[in-house]
A = this chain, B = another copy of it.
């Protein structure tokens, strides 16, 4: 391809809309253009990258025996109602675009395809003899993100590879899950990405186990916690750890454990309270009030007790609530702090926020309009294990010192509800502490179990002659996000340094001066030869200054540049590698034999830095 025909438009300055390097570079180098928030056009260079990434994904999926398919993007609401996710994806989190067709039927724009594929599998797969099957597709998906940002990283329209496997038993599911883990590692390696596998929360997809693949990068939206020995790695949403040990409260518990009142005027924060009285935050039990709203109408006040130095992990709390109420009350639509406005709306008295304790009486909810009249009470392990503590007295400007759970008459369910933090000790080896890295999620694999097949009555005939719901797995890769993550990991001050396996073109031939016949002719000849050798090659035939062309080739990130300059008279050219910038002069006649084998090696993605 000739650069003059490539519709290449590069920008000198960073576009105002972009915050992170990869987003800036993709805009500046003419790879993408924004059409609306979170909605981008993939220009010809970008589309070549996406096709190369897709091809790597396809090859590795095929290698595991998966079958490619393409499922509809428009999905009938009834399917999602059968799985119980319609309300959660529309009214709840609201991430599914949805519309009414001209017949008044509700349709969603697929953010994922568990419902569609489960319905299809129930129709097509009738017998254990047909199992296992793993179906995948590479497709544009939609999510109505509240805050789309970072270009292709968090878009509202993006390309995914999603796969769904069906099994006769759990062992077979585990086997395919392991095969997908292997395929994913090969895919990321071939694309030149440094990616780590981490334990993950299964979120709205659900299921028993899941693992994310994170491309490590400063700009990553996810916090990953890892042990120095590499034995443990998890998304913070999911991570578990040993909290720092608490220092026992001086003076211990009072005999009755009900605590001694302490005047704490305006000391509504743990910090203020601790500073004023010489407590440590780890000696305080803090109380958070929230209200959980479920699909079928239930509004449940929740009281969570945490050790004062710990933070609530809302994902863990939401999972606990969904586990408790999902079957009976439908999807968890919202989980929000219990606010003063909420109390007023319910016709209730205001509460002494900042001075609350775990012993807060259910009577404060009596007469609520919508809310359940009793708290669902949880405490985190760290709070539960305090023998004696400081807590709010449930009246203004007053705390209790030396309280115990028994003394307060409280024994709420104890769960892991805290956010693991960098510096926490590891479960598998308390001598190690968790380290933090930022990551970009590019893949996520799930053991779904029988959640969808049971809900949607997708069954097969077993070998024993019975009927059972399928065991299922699902496996996603963010194809467009992966492409941008590659830029985030591979760029320098001059532009993008594409890993060769996913570069839009592998080589650019640059005649320094196209007005010079010798240079132009040699460049044309090398361009033809490289093309005939199966190399994806560009010829920068524009009548621009050499410096402009070099700058553009570095910005767009072509892995190899062949410069045909004054040396052309002696049949010599310069070969420059984008990553690292190493250059060498060589005879034009030996270019192919020197360059082609290196390109072939780099196509496997294994020699990538």
Contacts and interface: CB of A to CB of B under 8 A. Distances in A.
A98 B97 contact: no
A527 B144 CA distance: 47
Given A5-B67, A47-B70, 17 more contacts: A5-B65, A6-B67, A7-B67, A7-B130, A35-B76, A36-B72, A36-B75, A36-B76, A36-B107, A37-B103, A39-B72, A44-B135, A73-B142, A74-B97, A74-B142, A74-B157, A101-B156
Contacts of A39: 72, 74, 76
B74 A156 contact: yes
A396 to B, nearest CB: 39
Interface in A81-108: 94, 97-99, 101-103, 105, 107
A287 interface: no
A101 B48 CA distance: 30
Contacts of A51: 68
Interface stretch (A119-127, A352-360, A530-538, A577-585): A119-127
A41 B67 contact: no
A33 interface: yes
A50 interface: yes
A234 to B, nearest CB: 30
A133 B41 CA distance: 16
B69 A41 contact: yes
A47 B74 contact: no
Contacts of A79: 35
A40 interface: yes
A606 interface: no
Contacts of A350: none
Contact of A69 (B42, B70, B72, B116): B42
A124 B50 contact: no
Contacts of A109: 99, 109
A41 B50 CA distance: 23
20 contacts: A5-B65, A6-B67, A7-B133, A30-B124, A33-B124, A36-B75, A39-B72, A40-B72, A41-B116, A44-B69, A47-B68, A48-B68, A50-B70, A73-B73, A94-B102, A97-B101, A99-B99, A99-B109, A109-B109, A140-B140
A255 interface: no
A308 to B, nearest CB: 36
A43 interface: yes
Q: How many copies are assembled?
A: 2
| Residue from A43, A65, A72, A119 with most neighbouring chain B CB atoms (10 Å) | A72
A586 interface: no
A135 B99 contact: no
Contacts of A41: 69-72, 116, 120
Contacts of A9: 124
Interface of A: 5-7, 9, 30, 33, 35-37, 39-44, 47-48, 50-51, 65, 67-76, 79, 94, 97-99, 101-103, 105, 107, 109, 116, 119-120, 123-125, 130, 133, 135, 140, 142, 144, 146, 156-157
Contact of A101 (B40, B43, B103, B144): B144
Given A102-B146, A116-B35, A125 B7 contact: yes
Contacts of A35: 71-72, 75-76, 79, 116, 119-120
Contacts of A33: 120, 123-124
A69 B47 contact: yes
Contacts of A69: 41-44, 47
A103 B36 CA distance: 12
Contacts of A44: 67-69, 135
A30 B123 CA distance: 11
Given A7-B124, A116-B35, A73 B135 contact: no
A43 B135 CA distance: 9
Contact of A135 (B7, B133, B142): B7
A72 B157 contact: yes
Contacts of A156: 74, 101
Contact of A73 (B43, B50, B119, B157): B157
A27 to B, nearest CB: 12
Nearest to A7: B133
A528 to B, nearest CB: 16
A70 B42 contact: yes
A103 B38 CA distance: 13
Contacts of A98: 99
A551 to B, nearest CB: 19
Contacts of A42: 69-71
The 3 A-B pairs with the shortest beta carbon distances in the complex, nearest first, are: A99-B99, A44-B67, A42-B70
A132 B157 CA distance: 29
Nearest to A125: B7
Contacts of A75: 35-36
Nearest to A542: B129
Nearest to A155: B72
Contacts of A43: 69, 124
A458 to B, nearest CB: 14
Contact of A36 (B74, B140, B157): B74
Nearest to A130: B7
Nearest to A156: B74
Contacts of A5: 65, 67, 133
A142 B102 CA distance: 13
Nearest to A99: B99
A334 to B, nearest CB: 14
Contacts of A144: 101-102
A75 B142 CA distance: 13
